Amino acid sequence: MLVLFATFGLCWWAHAHMAITEIALGHLSSKKINKLYELINRDGLPFQSVVDSSAWQDDLKDTYKFHAIGDWHFSDNPIYMNKTIPAIIPNPSYNVTSFLYDALDTLNDPTTTSL
């Protein structure tokens, strides 16, 4: 039985990202959703929907072998919500936020060339 559930966990692919994104969108006002789409579509690049593009990191990692973002996916450390037990929060030196800042700097750098 454990093997069945363990293998089930490996088959989520983008579906979990899409489900979480759909739930998150349900908590946003239509004004905020419109602003989100405005920000995403500002450069005129091909785009389908927020839900369809919610697993973009995995797409980059798997399709283009861009493994620099491979450790963003999850942290295998439990976080305890009980007030008597302190939360275990990993302190990575390079995480998704620092990567996005670096990516933005690269995109705004006039010496950056296209792929």
Which is higher by pLDDT, 40 or 71?
A: 40
Residues contacting 90, CB < 8 A, separation 6+: 75, 77
Confidence label for 79 from pLDDT (cuts 50, 70 and 90): low
64 pLDDT higher than 90? no
How high is the pLDDT of residue 22? Answer: 92
Residue 9 lies in a domain: yes
Residue 87 lies in a domain: yes
How high is the pLDDT of residue 4? Answer: 47
Residue 59 lies in a domain: yes
Q: pLDDT exceeding 90 applies to what percent of the chain? A: 8
Residue 38 lies in a domain: yes
Which is higher by pLDDT, 22 or 89?
A: 22
Structurally, the chain folds into a number of domains equal to 1
Domain that includes residue 47, residue range: 2-108
**Is 58:73 a contact under the CB 8 Å cutoff?**
yes
114 pLDDT higher than 60? yes
